[in-house]
């Protein structure tokens, strides 16, 4: 009986529940809300995961014969294609041909290349005729790029010109010194110490293969990238009053600062390093000196950040955990620009000296950066921008800068702060601290030397400077003749392009207006 009653109650409850569920809901109250929406910016709606916004789009990118720089572009291209559908074609030419290849392609309207990864130093030659796309707005609307994380120097010098942004930095370039920590306890702080240490180790067997090795390895090949190294030495004696003082020209007259005791001594020191270098040093490019250092054949070397990461590659390096990095050596004497003579460092002549030594770390080159051809199709330009942004976003960039083969060196603040990535890549904590500390110290230096970035700087450096320095190194001309040759050659270009315009451009890059 009890069971029947319970069953009946349960059925009743269930029935009532079903009944209540089937009863129609009361009609909703309609409220009309009037609202004015103002569109203040274009919002980029992220694509559906499956959609490929650039399906069928091809991006032709020109850069220099690698493997450095081209390698990460080629490696990341297929990943980008997977994400967006855009196919990335990387075309390479030798470094010495890159400038004219880009300019002749765009100037003649051929426009075979939609984007370039090139030297930001040349940017001005591309911006004035309107060949390169202004990326300011795109970067402002691209939170994934984490633009504020890019170190200020690279944002301002490598990417911007007259307040607008034209390139996306993919690499941070700074010249620094390298030394063998298993041989040298105290790295050299002056060029005299550099020579003394080089002399001490020259001719010794440094890698245990039975052959005598070298005290110093510096790239000195003509027509390569060697002409930057003379300024590693010269700048420490020419510039002492801070970045805006400039190293290449007088900021009031645009007169080349090459006919003076400082430049003469720099030539002399550069020549002296040859005595402690490989016999064919005058025919070695940076690739050669890097492999000499990583194969354990050099006690000291000068390079961009590349040796630091190449040294950790177990396949090619025998100097893992034996490679120390240092800020470029400095000088205890600096140039008095009034007299052209060298004077000792004191509080007035060298306000930024460290222990009496004036360091002038040289931001040679400025780091490879991606620029986009303004004449490319809009969709291709958008795809090229997204590709450069993808390459520069921390997820990719933080890995690439730790791989020696990429040629990419750190340029984001977070890359300096977080050393975990470097240790994971194979550096010892000490080596990572050393390496990043040397770059960070250079970047933070108030006396940092900005590379030349004025119209046709390539003629000033890659033609006149390179030729005179290599002729001097080969013994074809004396130091005085070399200085005269650079002076006359630079003056000729300045006169040809208009002294006032060039001076304005020079002081503009230095922030000395």
Partner 1 sequence: MEQPGLWGRVQRRFEGSANSVFIWPAILMVLFLSIFPLIISLYLAFSRLKFVPGGFEIKFVGLANFRKLLVGTEKNHFLGKTSHPSLLGWLLFVLFVGLLLLFLLRYIRGSEFSIGGLIFRGVIVAVLTLFAWLVIQTLSPGGRPGTMVITWVYVFVGIAIQYTLGLGLALLVTQPLPGRRFFRVVFLLPMMITPVGVAYMFRMMTDTDKGPLQPIWQAMGLGLYSWVTDPWGARSAVMIGDIWQWTPFMFIVLLAALEAQSIEQREAALVDGANRWQILRNITMPQIFPVSLTLVLIRMIEAFKIVDLPNVLTNGGPGTATESLTLHSWISWRTLDIGGSAAIAYSLLLVVTFFGIAYVNILRTRVAE
Give the per-residue contact string, 124-143, with partner 1 (x = CB under 8 A; - = no): -x--xxx-------------
- Tell the smallest beta-carbon distance from residue 139 to partner 1 (Å): 23
Q: Which is nearer to partner 1, 100 or 141 (CB)?
A: 100
- Tell the smallest beta-carbon distance from residue 247 to partner 1 (Å): 22
Q: Is 361 in the site for partner 1 (CB under 8 A)?
A: no
Q: Which is nearer to partner 1, 396 or 462 (CB)?
A: 462
- The number of beta carbons lying within 10 Å of the beta carbon of residue 177 is 23
Q: Is 474 in the site for partner 1 (CB under 8 A)?
A: yes
CA distance 323 to 179: 6
- Tell the smallest beta-carbon distance from residue 80 to partner 1 (Å): 31
CA distance 363 to 66: 21
Distance of CA 352 to the CA centre of its chain: 24
- Tell the smallest beta-carbon distance from residue 456 to partner 1 (Å): 8
Looking only at the bridges linking them, the beta strands covering 58-64 and 87-93 are parallel
Q: Is 281 in the site for partner 1 (CB under 8 A)?
A: yes
Whether the bond into 67 is cis, omega within 30 of 0 = yes
Q: Which is nearer to partner 1, 76 or 101 (CB)?
A: 101
CA distance 202 to 275: 9
Q: Is 223 in the site for partner 1 (CB under 8 A)?
A: yes
Q: Which is nearer to partner 1, 100 or 339 (CB)?
A: 100
Q: How many CA atoms lie within 13 A of 309 on its CB side?
A: 24
Count the residues of the shown chain that bind partner 1, applying the rule CB under 8 A: 39
Q: Is 473 in the site for partner 1 (CB under 8 A)?
A: yes
Distance of CA 275 to the CA centre of its chain: 31
Question: Is there a contact between 305 and 435 (Cβ–Cβ < 8 Å)?
Answer: yes
The stretch near partner 1 (CB under 8 A) out of 66-74, 160-168, 234-242, 473-481 is 473-481
CA distance 410 to 214: 29
Question: Exposure pattern of 379-410 as b/e (b: 16+ CB <10 Å)?
Answer: ebbbbbbbbbbbbbbbebbbbbbbbbbbbbbb
Q: Is 280 in the site for partner 1 (CB under 8 A)?
A: yes
Q: Which of 63, 245, 396, 470 binds partner 1 (CB under 8 A)?
A: 470
| Three-state SS at 478 | coil
Phi-psi domain of 401 (left: phi exceeds 0; alpha: psi -120 through 50; beta: other): alpha
Q: Is 224 in the site for partner 1 (CB under 8 A)?
A: yes
Q: Which of 477, 483, 505, 510 binds partner 1 (CB under 8 A)?
A: 477
Q: Is 471 in the site for partner 1 (CB under 8 A)?
A: yes
CA distance 367 to 391: 14
Q: Is 283 in the site for partner 1 (CB under 8 A)?
A: yes
Long-range contacts of 495-499 (CB under 8 A, 24+ apart): 497/455, 497/456, 499/254
Q: Which is nearer to partner 1, 55 or 280 (CB)?
A: 280
The stretch near partner 1 (CB under 8 A) out of 53-61, 122-130, 151-159, 426-434 is 122-130
Q: Which is nearer to partner 1, 8 or 104 (CB)?
A: 104
| Three-state SS at 366 | coil
- Tell the smallest beta-carbon distance from residue 204 to partner 1 (Å): 14
The stretch near partner 1 (CB under 8 A) out of 216-224, 382-390, 392-400, 403-411 is 216-224
Q: Which is nearer to partner 1, 224 or 405 (CB)?
A: 224
Q: Which of 459, 506, 509, 510 binds partner 1 (CB under 8 A)?
A: 459
Please state, in angstroms and as integers, the Cα–Cα distance from residue 464 to each residue in 223, 224, 281, following that order: 11, 13, 21
Q: Which of 190, 358, 442, 462 binds partner 1 (CB under 8 A)?
A: 462
Q: How many CA atoms lie within 13 A of 189 on its CB side?
A: 9
In 36-93, the DSSP E strands lie at: 58-64, 87-93
Give the per-residue contact string, 416-455, with partner 1 (x = CB under 8 A; - = no): ----------------------------------------
Give the per-residue contact string, 90-119, with partner 1 (x = CB under 8 A; - = no): ------xx-xx--xx--x------------
Q: Which of 472, 502, 503, 510 binds partner 1 (CB under 8 A)?
A: 472
Q: Is 221 in the site for partner 1 (CB under 8 A)?
A: yes
Q: Which residues contact 330 (CB under 8 A, 6 or more apart)?
A: 189, 190, 191, 236, 353, 354, 357, 358, 359, 360
| Three-state SS at 154 | helix
Q: Which is nearer to partner 1, 103 or 512 (CB)?
A: 103
Looking only at the bridges linking them, the beta strands covering 369-372 and 362-363 are unpaired
- Tell the smallest beta-carbon distance from residue 311 to partner 1 (Å): 20
Q: Which is nearer to partner 1, 447 or 470 (CB)?
A: 470
Q: Which residues bind partner 1 (CB under 8 A)?
A: 96-97, 99-100, 103-104, 107, 125, 128-130, 221-224, 278-283, 458-459, 462-463, 467, 470-477, 485, 488-489, 492, 496
């Amino acid at each position: 009986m009890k069971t029947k009653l319970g069953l009946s109650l349960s059925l009743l409850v269930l029935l009532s529940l079903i009944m209540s569920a089937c009863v129609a809901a009361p009609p909703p109250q309609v409220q009309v809300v009037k609202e004015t929406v103002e569109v203040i910016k274009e919002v980029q709606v992220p694509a559906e995961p499956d959609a490929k916004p650039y399906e069928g789009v091809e991006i032709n990118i020109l850069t220099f014969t690698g493997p450095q720089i081209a390698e990460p572009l080629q490696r990341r291209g297929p990943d980008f294609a997977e994400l967006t559908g855009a196919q990335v074609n990387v075309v390479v030419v030798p470094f010495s041909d890159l400038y004219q290849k880009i300019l002749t392609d765009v100037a003649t309207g051929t426009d075979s290349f939609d984007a370039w990864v090139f030297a930001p130093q040349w940017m001005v030659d591309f911006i004035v005729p309107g060949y390169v796309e202004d990326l300011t707005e795109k970067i402002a609307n691209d939170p994934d790029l984490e633009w504020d994380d890019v170190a200020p120097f690279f944002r301002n010098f490598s990417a911007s010109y007259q307040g607008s942004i034209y390139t996306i930095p993919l690499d941070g370039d700074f010249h620094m010194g390298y030394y063998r920590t298993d041989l040298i306890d105290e790295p050299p702080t002056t060029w005299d110490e550099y020579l003394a240490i080089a002399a001490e180790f020259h001719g010794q067997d440094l890698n245990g293969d039975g052959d005598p090795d070298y005290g110093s390895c510096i790239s000195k090949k003509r027509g390569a990238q060697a002409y930057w190294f003379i300024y590693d030495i010269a700048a420490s004696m020419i510039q002492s009053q801070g970045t805006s003082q400039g190293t290449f020209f007088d900021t009031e007259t645009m007169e080349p600062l090459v006919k003076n005791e400082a430049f003469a001594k720099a030539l002399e020191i550069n020549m002296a390093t040859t005595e402690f270098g490989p016999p064919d040093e005058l025919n070695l490019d940076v690739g050669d000196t890097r492999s000499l250092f990583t194969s354990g054949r050099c006690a000291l070397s000068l390079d961009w950040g590349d040796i630091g990461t190449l040294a950790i590659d177990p396949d090619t390096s025998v100097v893992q955990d034996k490679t120390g990095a240092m800020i470029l050596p400095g000088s205890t004497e600096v140039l008095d620009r009034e007299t052209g003579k060298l004077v000792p460092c004191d509080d007035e002549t060298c306000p930024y000296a460290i222990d009496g030594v004036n360091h002038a770390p040289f931001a040679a080159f400025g780091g490879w950066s991606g620029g986009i051809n303004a004449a490319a199709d809009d969709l291709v330009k958008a795809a090229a921008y997204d590709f450069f942004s993808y390459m520069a976003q921390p997820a990719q960039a933080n890995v690439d800068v730790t791989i020696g083969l990429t040629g990419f060196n750190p340029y984001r603040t977070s890359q300096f702060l977080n050393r975990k990535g470097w240790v994971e890549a194979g550096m010892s904590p000490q080596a990572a601290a050393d390496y990043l500390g040397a770059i960070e110290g250079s970047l933070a230096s108030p006396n940092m030397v900005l590379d030349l970035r004025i119209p046709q700087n390539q003629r000033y450096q890659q033609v006149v400077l390179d030729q005179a320095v290599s002729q001097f190194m080969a013994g074809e001309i004396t130091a005085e003749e070399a200085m005269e040759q650079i002076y006359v050659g630079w003056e000729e270009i300045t006169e040809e392009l208009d002294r006032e315009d060039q001076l304005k451009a020079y002081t503009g890059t230095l922030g000395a207006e």
